[in-house]
Structure 1
Amino acid sequence: MATDYGQGYGQDYGHGYRHDSGLGFPEEVRRHRLPAGLRAPFEARSWRELAYVLLSLPISILLFVYTITMVALGVGLLVTFLGIPLLAVGLAGCRGLGSLERARARGLLGLDVGEPEPLRMKKQGAPAWVGAVLKSGTSWRSALYSLLSLPWSVFSFAVVVNFFALGWTLMTYPLWFWLFPLFAGQDGIQLYGDQTHRVYLDNPFEITVTALVGVLFTLATPWIVRALTMVDRLLVHGLLGPTRLSARVVELESDRGVVVDTAAADLRRIERDLHDGAQARLVALAMDLGLAKEKLAEDPHAAARMVDDAHGEVKTALQELRDLARGIHPAVLTDRGLDAALSAVASRCTVPVQMEVDLPSRPAPAIEGIAYFTVSELLQNISKHAQATWAAVDVWRVENRLMLQVVDDGVGGADTSAGSGLGGLAERLDAVDGILVVDSPAGGPTRITAELPWRAV
């Protein structure tokens, strides 16, 4: 996706925040007196990640036991009528436990994972629900997560507990080494020992070195925890979140809704223009011609004037119909392509427009129509709102993308916020896998770039 200059992504950076790889908390960009390696043991994020690892072991044991028990019972009873419903109930429980795991990852790891695809049932009732659960990939991925999380949780728990305990034990050794001669009958921690020789950490130098080694372990522990939780993030994201296919299906369903709404709005606009414009004018014209017919015998001169007026009304109605037809789909676009159609649009703009269209061939009619109306609407915005003195339109192709760029020297301040014309235009482009990028600082200039998929005729 192209970078949204001044909109969207840039706003996060402008407020002093950046996002990490998408698998953790957003981190505030600020200057710290301590480097990251020294302050990591004291950051809240490190303690949240530690809590996640420590909680993962008991939770993963419960998940593993539940999944193994329910799946084993369901599979074992498949020879009876109870097996399939019981297996569906077990998988449904795995889905519910997966929701809890997503919530835990969101709260402790800052991992925002979307909801997976819901159950798709064509009919209502228990049999339809059982079939939907068993056919859902989310159910089986949740069960797989319950099985895989246990061995990984055991490993990460053992590593983290040992590093954490060893680091703090050694780092605080100067505070409690006196307990050894007082209660254990030895000079300190035994580093080496056999039948003839023993080495204890008991002099000031050795105690200091021991504490420094503990500091190193303590400083390293948060980064080890962070590396281990990256695997947890991947497991949650990959097994408990939506798949690319399901996300794409949801996106296409949303885009289809946008297309349907847009088409309905266009039909309402056409109906309103016909009713309030050409239709009303033709009704008035029919009435005028009826009056002229009645006056033709008794007052020919008045009838002739009324016919002349009706002739003017006919010309106006024809022009309105031409404008309406051009708004639906201009004939010049069908006959001569984008270059000629956009040149005609530019000629009607209130400011001089420099036009450059560099296309090796014509795209598919649907894409060509969307490109035409995109540039047309942007030039109308320039005429109405930009207070510009010039504008430029460039159209070119880059690999499998049709690129459109409209630039003006107006007052700027354009955005795609809800309710604006640009917002609706961005939704229309998104419905065909297009992108709208707006760069319009206050005071101008404004540069709006649109990308559309290139589809050949």
Structure 2
Amino acid sequence: MTIPPVLRRSALRARRDTGFLAAGVLPHLALAPVWVWGVTFAVKTGNWATALPASVAPILLGVPVLTVPQRYRHRALLGVDIPAPAPVPEHRSWASTARWLSATSTSRQVGYHLLVGPLVAASELLVLATLIAGPAGATVHGWVWALPEKVRQGWSGHPKQLSCCTVGGLVLLCAAPWSAGAAARIESRPARSLLGPRRAERLQARVEHLAGSRTELVEAVDAERRRIERDLHDGISEALANVTKHARATRAQVTVRRVGTVLRVRVTDDGLGGADAAAGTGLSGLAKRVGSLDGAFHVSSPVGGPTTITAELPCAR
């Protein structure tokens, strides 16, 4: 029996979303005991001077550590990339620590782990509970009959309740993939906005990337221009030298034209003709140079002239 591709994709997506939610429960609840203890201790004793530093210090130390698995979880299971914050300066000092504490990114991460995290964990636990209650309710008749006889007799007198449990379990089982996907998508929104860079920072990074790409493009175009200029100069100078030395011409004409991605250079003279690039003359060196550039070299030189030398060089757009 083959499973339809649609059902297979839905099952894989549901498994991915369920794994994403399950992997987020512990990181989201990691700091909850700290601030609950701090508030409880301060309320009972009234000693806020002790409770505040004792709870704030582990929170500030734990926020960067907990942010790393959250970013990895979103990237590995949802394909959502949340960029990392700016690296911590190598030479730490009180001034750099103060700047890190006062940074907007730090306060947003603290808000995520202290306020958003517990709420998200509650929704994750709720979805995971439905994933357990759904199969349990749908198969209630089966596992009731698997109970010991004395216990089973207590359930046998409630057929309506068992039927309601079965129907409710089937409803939860059918809604489980949708609820897991919806919870995962909703959870990723505050994570991107609070754990990642702000919109202005993303735009700044984009501008810097485009500026770097533009610089590389300008350098590549400039290098290509210099190469073409060098090849044109050398090739035309070799061809004209051949005209002067061997052809006994009174006139020579040079044309340069671009055809698509090919730069075509043509040198024509009214000399004696009979030039042969394979005869070991200067034309053979010019042919090798053009060939090393993946170009094409042609010589048309009948006895009595005229002679036409054509070189075609690749020229990117």
Q: CA deviation at 1:62?
A: 0.8
Partner of 2:93: 126
- Following TM superposition, by how much is the alpha carbon of 1:280 offset from its aligned partner in structure 2, in angstroms? 12
Question: Compared with structure 1, are the counterparts of its residues 52 and 274 closer, same or farther at alpha carbon in structure 2 (3 Å cutoff)?
Answer: closer
Query: Within 5 A, what are the aligned runs for 1:82-161?
Result: 91=60, 93-107=62-76, 109-119=77-87, 124-127=91-94, 129-147=96-114, 148-161=116-129
Match of 1:201 in 2: 158
* C-alpha contact (below 8 Å) 2:31/2:59 kept by paired residues: no
Following the alignment from structure 1 to structure 2, what is the Cα–Cα distance between the partners of residues 167 and 274?
74
Equivalent-residue separation in structure 1 for 2:109 and 2:18 (angstroms): 24
Partner of 1:56: 24
The residue number in structure 2 matching 1:33 is 4
Preserved contact between residue 74 and residue 82 of structure 2 (Cα < 8 Å): no
CA distance in 2, matches of 1:264, 1:223: 51
Measure, in 2, the Cα distance between the counterparts of 1:267 and 1:100. Answer: 45
Instruction: State the distance in 2 between where 1:231 and 1:33 align.
Output: 28
Q: Hey, what's the Cα distance between the residues in 2 that align with 1:220 and 1:57?
A: 21
2 CA distance for matches of 1:34 and 1:272? 54
Q: Distance in 2 between matches of 1:51 and 1:62?
A: 18
Rounded Cα–Cα distance in structure 2 between residues aligned with 1:243 and 1:262: 28
SS across alignment from 2:80: coil
Q: Which residue of 2 aligns with 1:377?
A: none
Aligned partners of 1:275, 1:421: CA distance in 2, in Å? 13
CA separation in 1, counterparts of 2:225 and 2:133? Answer: 76
Q: How many angstroms does 1:268 deviate by?
A: 5.0
Distance (whole Å) between structure 1 residues aligned to residue 127 and residue 108 of structure 2: 27
Note if contact 2:131-2:173 (Cα within 8 Å) is conserved in structure 1: yes
| Higher normalized helix content (fraction of residues) | 2
State the TM-score, normalized to the length of structure 1. Answer: 0.42
For normalisation by structure 2, the TM-score amounts to 0.57
Distance 1:238 1:421 in 2: 46
Q: Tell me which amino acid in the other structure corresponds to 1:174.
A: H
| Structure 1 residues 214 and 34, CA gap change in structure 2 (3 angstroms) | farther
- The amino acid across from 1:99 in the alignment is V
- 1:57 and 1:157 in contact (8 A); partners too: yes
Mapped to 2, the partners of 1:94 and 1:245 lie a distance apart of 23
Tell me which of 176, 187, 212 is aligned to 1:257: 212
Q: Could you list the per-position Cα deviations for residues 288-331 of structure 1 after superposition, in whole angstroms to 9, with x for gaps in the alignment?
A: xxxxxxxxxxxxxxxxxxxxx9xx99x98xx9xxx9xxxxxxxx
Instruction: Report how many aligned residue pairs link the two structures.
Output: 244
Question: How far 1:253 sits from its partner (Å)?
Answer: 1.6
RMSD over aligned CA atoms reads 4.8
1:181, 1:187 within 8 Å by CA — same for their partners in 2? no
Write the letter of the residue equivalent to 1:153. Answer: A
Task: Please report how far the alpha carbon of residue 101 of structure 1 lies from its aligned counterpart in structure 2 after TM superposition.
Answer: 0.9
- Unmatched tracts of structure 1, length 5 or more: 1-30, 190-199, 283-308, 324-347, 351-379, 385-419, 426-457
What is the aligned counterpart of 2:261 among 374, 381, 405? 381
Which protein shows a greater Rg?
Answer: 2
Check the 8 A contact 1:173/1:211 in 2, yes or no. yes
Q: Does 1:219 align with 2:174?
A: yes
- Residue aligned with 1:115, SS: coil
Please give the secondary structure, in 2, of the residue aligned with 1:60: helix
Percent identity at matched positions?
A: 16
User: 2:291 matched to which residue of 1?
Assistant: none
Q: CA deviation at 1:35?
A: 6.0
8 Å CA contact 1:94–1:142 kept in 2: the answer is yes
